[in-house]
A and B are shown apart, each in its own frame.
Chain A
Amino acid sequence: MAAIDPSNRGLRLVTRYLVLGLVALVFIFPVVFMIVSSLKPDQQLLTDTGSLRAFLPVGDISLDNYFAAFERAPIGKFVFNSVLVTVITVSLSLFLCSLAAFSFTYLEWFGRAALLSVILATLIIPFETIAIPLLLLVSKLPWIGVEGVTYGWLDSYRVQIIPWIADALTVFLFVQYFKDLPRELIEAARVEGATWWQIYYRVVMPLSGPVIATGAILKTLKMYNEQYIWPLISVQSETYRPVMVGLQYFFQLQIAWGEVMAYLTMITVPVLAFYLVLQRAFIASIASTGVKG
């Protein structure tokens, strides 16, 4: 009778893993479908979508879609552009937003609560409403480069980086996390004569691994996966185009679905690798801040 005893630990374990396995399958299906489909010719891909064969590498399997995708679009350049823009933006964002959050959390200055409220209020403004004013603004801003002072940031990396460095969500994440750090640590450091800068980079930031990971992942996903409208209107040359605009190269009148899947598989790899590296810290941070991505 032990086998059907609800308190049986083995049975509970099997049940738990069975449920978790099913949930994992549901979440992994799209990725499996994408990878498997990228290996099939269009005709077979479309035929298989109505059955479980869609998730199996069966039939006429080859890497032809990958070769064709490379011929259709400069994928390496698009991935490089997106990775470059993402890495610089995320790095600067984590630095500046954490500094801002530090100031909001630990420094006493007039109007900080009101300013934080204003910053957080920007979370409800959709980007579409500010896209055109922002475009007009960056099209006239000065820049100092090797050619001296020029005007207009359009068609460059900087136009894809600078407007995205500061964002309310990242500031909010850091503020929430910093509030939970023991005040005694900060006060002890002050008593020992540490400057605010020393407290920031020697005390607070070393303890902020989980929130840095969360901010990095959320910001990376936003910069890499969701940057479409802004580069569409602010970048004209192929030299600076990111992966999401590049995806549109594959949507011709007759869509080559196999090539679309191959392209998506290739551009997903960097994001997936990044997430897998940081997932443990990400989960820990979610547990502590209650923020979901």
Chain B
Amino acid sequence: MKLTISGAIVAYAAVSGAALAQTELALWYHGAGNEEEAAVLNGAIEDFNNAQGDWTVVVESFPQIAYNDSVVAAALAGNLPDILDIDGPVMPNWAWSGYLQPLQVDETLVSNFLPSTVGRWDGEIYSVGLWDAAVAIMTRQSTLDKYGIRVPTLEEPWSLEEFNAALETIKASGDFDYPLDLGTAWTGEWYPYAFSPFLQSFGGDIVNRDDYQSADGVLNGDAAIAFGEWWQSLFANDYAPGTSQDPAVRDTGLIDGKYAMSWNGNWAATPVLDAFGDDTLFLPAPDFGNGSTIGAGSWQFGISATSAHPDGAAAFIEHLMQDKYTAAFSDTLGLVPATPTAAAQSKYYAEGAPMEVFYGLSEAQALVRPVTPGYVVAAKVFEKALSDIANGGDVIDTLDAAVDEIDADIAKNGGYGH
């Protein structure tokens, strides 16, 4: 009996000693309220904590809408955790602002990751994502068949003329409230993420990527004006609901038959598949003259500048980068896995799986948003400009004003370190 008790004490001491020896690493995550996502993350954290004796990761989840503001406030107050998750396009700003430190991971570990899932700034890796998001035109085969509209492919997407003709044909039928749902009810990052690829396909951009010092000529040049006029025509001709779109109808309008087509992300694909089954089509973005593009760059993991344990934080991020977690997140959230090997394991993106097409879209069409600290401001300016144009604002004046605002911000911040 004594031996048993002594053994138990020794075992307890060993276990608690190991636990005490582990250094705590704080992780902030944007997924509060999403219990399925939390379950995957918590499982990966538990695996990491049990697999080694040096570190214990403790997660604190924030609501996504509030996450960035919370991080910026914490950075100002000197209260950042060790590990952060970061929205891809925001990463350069946080790195430039001194909130992040470079992530010490071997290049070979990210060699098979989709380029858009590796956050690079100033020649160094700052963040790595386990997934990407892709946008497609969601519709039904039967809808296109009914109106004699060709099904576009990655190799041969719709041209501007074909796309406009399809919208006009469907509008003229009177069968739908609108031929196209763009999701204008979603404000914020959705605008630059979803709509700047249209501008880029026209030949413009939010900012000149040669040196990131000005938006002049790319956001108000001929291509951008052509884009703006086309964008305005979508609403003027009632092809798409305007900025007052009801968010609830955005969620269900395609399935309810209010919209013939919906420009939406892969995270919204499963309800559509459930509703339409084999009749579902996920179509590539039209080619408006300068190639088809879609937005890229989703949530990624990085290390705060104030972390005293970047080695432990990097070890955890490397742990997360395993295919099994990438596939698990994908299966849970419906997002595009970051690696082809994880995609092969995933239930949605494996060969022949219902959302395999999104992986192809990400591979073929993805264009990350401008990789500059100034993107955070430029994105808001772009959103306002598109909203104003949708509501009837003069295209040239609006784009010129947007350029002035973006250029002034770049100048005010000394060129943002480019």
Q: Is A43 in contact with B252, judged by CB distance below 8 angstroms?
A: yes
A49-B66 Cα distance, complex, nearest whole Å: 28
Q: Is B35 in contact with A71, judged by CB distance below 8 angstroms?
A: yes
Q: Is B74 in contact with A236, judged by CB distance below 8 angstroms?
A: yes
Closest beta carbon of chain A to B407's beta carbon, Å: 26
Q: Is A255 in contact with B247, judged by CB distance below 8 angstroms?
A: yes
A86-126 contacts to B, CB under 8 A, are none
Asked if B77 is an interface residue, CB under 8 A from chain A, the answer is yes
Contacts of B64 in A (CB 8 A): 248, 251-252
A8-42 contacts to B, CB under 8 A, are none
Contact status of A232 and B33, CB under 8 A, knowing A253-B267, A254-B271, A255-B248: no
Number of residue pairs A-B, CB distance < 8 angstroms: 78
A257-B247 Cα distance, complex, nearest whole Å: 10
Contact status of A46 and B248, CB under 8 A, knowing A73-B33, A248-B65: yes
Q: Which residue of A lies closest to B265 (CB)?
A: A253
A127-155 contacts to B, CB under 8 A, are 132, 135-136, 139, 152, 154-155
Contact status of A248 and B70, CB under 8 A, knowing A46-B249, A135-B77, A154-B79: no
B251-295 contacts to A, CB under 8 A, are 251-252, 256, 265, 267-268, 271
A49-B252 Cα distance, complex, nearest whole Å: 13
How many residues of chain B get a CB closer than 8 Å to chain A's CBs? 30
Q: Please, what's the 1-or-0 string for A219-253, where 1 marks a CB less than 8 Å from any CB in chain B?
A: 00000000000001110111000000110111111
Asked if A202 is an interface residue, CB under 8 A from chain B, the answer is no
Contacts of B35 in A (CB 8 A): 71-72
A72-B381 Cα distance, complex, nearest whole Å: 34
Asked if B237 is an interface residue, CB under 8 A from chain A, the answer is no
Q: Is A249 in contact with B248, judged by CB distance below 8 angstroms?
A: no
A248-B31 Cα distance, complex, nearest whole Å: 10
A144-B134 Cα distance, complex, nearest whole Å: 51
Q: Is B79 in contact with A152, judged by CB distance below 8 angstroms?
A: yes
Contact status of A245 and B77, CB under 8 A, knowing A250-B33, A252-B34, A253-B268: no
Asked if B1 is an interface residue, CB under 8 A from chain A, the answer is no
Closest beta carbon of chain B to A246's beta carbon, Å: 8
Known: A49-B248, A135-B76, A232-B66. 13 other contacts (CB 8 A): A46-B249, A73-B33, A132-B76, A139-B77, A139-B78, A139-B79, A154-B77, A154-B79, A233-B70, A236-B70, A236-B79, A238-B32, A238-B61
Q: Is A249 in contact with B33, judged by CB distance below 8 angstroms?
A: yes
Contact status of A257 and B248, CB under 8 A, knowing A232-B69, A237-B60, A252-B64: yes
Q: Which residue of B lies closest to A69 (CB)?
A: B33
A47-B267 Cα distance, complex, nearest whole Å: 23
Q: Identify which of B33, B79, B247, B249 gathers the most chain A CB atoms within 10 Å of its CB.
A: B33
Main secondary structure of the interface of A (DSSP, over half): helix
The 4 closest A-B pairs by CB, nearest first: A249-B33, A248-B63, A233-B73, A139-B77
A47-B252 Cα distance, complex, nearest whole Å: 10
Contacts of A238 in B (CB 8 A): 32, 60-61
Q: Is B70 in contact with A72, judged by CB distance below 8 angstroms?
A: no
A237-B79 Cα distance, complex, nearest whole Å: 12
A49-B246 Cα distance, complex, nearest whole Å: 11
A135-B73 Cα distance, complex, nearest whole Å: 8
A233-B75 Cα distance, complex, nearest whole Å: 10
Instruction: Mark A residues whose CB is within 8 Å of B.
Output: 43, 46-47, 49, 71-73, 132, 135-136, 139, 152, 154-155, 232-234, 236-238, 245-246, 248-255, 257
Contacts of A136 in B (CB 8 A): 76-77
Q: Is A249 in contact with B32, judged by CB distance below 8 angstroms?
A: yes
B195-214 contacts to A, CB under 8 A, are none
Can you name 14 A-B pairs with beta carbons within 8 Å? A47-B256, A49-B248, A73-B33, A135-B77, A139-B78, A155-B79, A232-B66, A234-B73, A236-B60, A237-B60, A248-B65, A249-B32, A251-B63, A257-B248
Closest beta carbon of chain A to B253's beta carbon, Å: 10
Q: Is B251 in contact with A254, judged by CB distance below 8 angstroms?
A: yes
Closest beta carbon of chain A to B329's beta carbon, Å: 14
Q: Which residue of B lies closest to A68 (CB)?
A: B35
Closest beta carbon of chain B to A49's beta carbon, Å: 7
Closest beta carbon of chain A to B124's beta carbon, Å: 27
Contacts of A252 in B (CB 8 A): 33-34, 64
Closest beta carbon of chain A to B275's beta carbon, Å: 11
Contacts of A253 in B (CB 8 A): 265, 267-268
Closest beta carbon of chain B to A48's beta carbon, Å: 11
Contacts of B271 in A (CB 8 A): 254
Contact status of A249 and B63, CB under 8 A, knowing A49-B248, A154-B79, A232-B70: yes
Closest beta carbon of chain B to A213's beta carbon, Å: 33
Contacts of B247 in A (CB 8 A): 255
Closest beta carbon of chain B to A104's beta carbon, Å: 34
A234-B28 Cα distance, complex, nearest whole Å: 15
Contacts of A255 in B (CB 8 A): 247-248, 251
Q: Is A233 in contact with B63, judged by CB distance below 8 angstroms?
A: no
A71-B252 Cα distance, complex, nearest whole Å: 24
Q: Please, what's the 1-or-0 string for B51-83, where 1 marks a CB less than 8 Å from any CB in chain A?
A: 000000000111111100110011011110000
Q: Is A72 in contact with B33, judged by CB distance below 8 angstroms?
A: yes
Q: Which residue of B lies closest to A49 (CB)?
A: B248
A43-B247 Cα distance, complex, nearest whole Å: 13
Q: Identify which of A152, A154, A232, A246 gathers the most chain B CB atoms within 10 Å of its CB.
A: A232
Contacts of B248 in A (CB 8 A): 46, 49, 255, 257
Closest beta carbon of chain A to B150's beta carbon, Å: 31
Q: Which residue of A lies closest to B60 (CB)?
A: A237
Closest beta carbon of chain A to B63's beta carbon, Å: 3
A256-B174 Cα distance, complex, nearest whole Å: 30
A232-B65 Cα distance, complex, nearest whole Å: 10
Contacts of B60 in A (CB 8 A): 236-238
Closest beta carbon of chain B to A87's beta carbon, Å: 24
Contacts of A43 in B (CB 8 A): 252
Q: Is A248 in contact with B66, judged by CB distance below 8 angstroms?
A: yes
A253-B31 Cα distance, complex, nearest whole Å: 11
Closest beta carbon of chain A to B57's beta carbon, Å: 15
A251-B31 Cα distance, complex, nearest whole Å: 11
Contacts of A232 in B (CB 8 A): 66, 69-70, 73
